[in-house]
A = this chain, B = another copy of it.
Amino acid sequence: MRLQAELVAVVLTVNAGRPWVLAGGEPPALPAGPLAAGESLQAGVREFARERSGFDLGYVEQLYTFADLGRSADDCRTVSISYLGLTRAPIDGSARPADWSALYDLLPWEDRRHLTASGTDRLSEEIELALRRWSGDLDERRDRCAFLFGYDDRPWRAEFALQRYELLWEAGLVAESPTAGRISALTAGPMAHDHRRILATGLSRIRAKLQYRPVVFELMPESFTLLALQETVEAIAGQHIHKQNFRRSVEVQHELVEPTGELSHDTGGRPARLYRFRGSVREERAQVGTKLPLPR
């Protein structure tokens, strides 16, 4: 059996309060390329992420390996090894902006920052309606929907983005579902191959990781205000965080950040202290469990 291996990267950055993912083309596709000879997997990902975006990846982590059965002829199979990468790319700057997509254009239901407490919106209602129709009177389905989409007073769990995608896929509500009906307009349009699934995998992973590892750091500039840090976390998490509690949780773990002594005056109000990450975070980030709050 002939075998091919390719690397697929989910490269994320946050800019102006919005998360962006390196994905261009029509339909949009994640950067992917063959595994070069004599190169480690991580090095390969870093390599072509730089080629495509012009920026270096900070954090890199393996996501999942897929072996497509359907994609090619039986005698040539492709193994896709997917990676998550974080970078500080300033998008609007020198990079070709066409290569970047707004993450929540591709997974619109994952951004809930505009929702007020216990509030809802057109998209949520549409999904809930469609899902209830799909569930019918099957208790199992109903439970699953309630758990993943937070119906019936259950909390919204940001880190279950992948499972939500899979549910919508089964229910025929995303463009690439085999059973997609007309309501599939939830997503702007199809993405290449199974790239939306890979993207959802990456989003799930970073949201989970955010809660126990100091990875936001990779998305922040050298120095920043606590509000900027919070807004970056919120952008990834797709939901709002109680400001004072966020601030406290950051300050309590005094291994995490330290004030630079400078102030930022473009706040519109009282100037904010600037902070930087402590050196120990950079070095120990492979081990230390550092917690940032996600609301439940």
A interface residues, Cβ below 8 angstroms from B? 1, 3-5, 35, 37-41, 62, 64-67, 69, 74-75, 77, 79, 81, 140, 143-144, 147-148, 157, 160, 163, 280, 283-284, 286-289
A272 to B8, CA, bound (A): 52
Is A287 in contact with B147, judged by CB distance below 8 angstroms?
Answer: yes
Is B81 in contact with A288, judged by CB distance below 8 angstroms?
Answer: no
Is A3 in contact with B1, judged by CB distance below 8 angstroms?
Answer: no
Which chain B residues border A41 with CB–CB below 8 Å? 65-67
Is B143 in contact with A284, judged by CB distance below 8 angstroms?
Answer: yes
Is B65 in contact with A280, judged by CB distance below 8 angstroms?
Answer: no
If over half of A's interface residues share one DSSP class (helix, strand or loop), that class is named, otherwise mixed; here it is mixed
> In the complex where A74-B37, A144-B284 touch, is A64 in contact with B67 (Cβ < 8 A)?
no
A172 to B163, CA, bound (A): 41
Q: A35-B67, A65-B65, A163-B286 are in contact. List 11 more A-B contacts (CB 8 A).
A: A3-B4, A5-B79, A35-B77, A38-B74, A39-B69, A62-B64, A62-B65, A67-B81, A79-B79, A144-B284, A144-B287
Which chain B residues border A143 with CB–CB below 8 Å? 280, 284
In the complex, how many angstroms separate the beta carbon of A76 from the nearest chain B beta carbon? Answer: 10
Is B69 in contact with A38, judged by CB distance below 8 angstroms?
Answer: yes
Query: Sorted from nearest, which 5 A-B pairs have the closest CB atoms?
Result: A65-B65, A1-B37, A3-B3, A41-B67, A65-B81
Best-buried of A5, A140, A148 by chain B (most CB within 10 Å): A5
Which chain B residues border A38 with CB–CB below 8 Å? 69, 74
Which residue from B69, B75, B284 sits with its C-beta under 8 Å from A40?
B69
Is B140 in contact with A288, judged by CB distance below 8 angstroms?
Answer: no
Which chain B residues border A287 with CB–CB below 8 Å? 144, 147-148, 160, 163
Q: Which residue of B has the minimal Cβ distance to A44?
A: B67
A283 to B141, CA, bound (A): 10
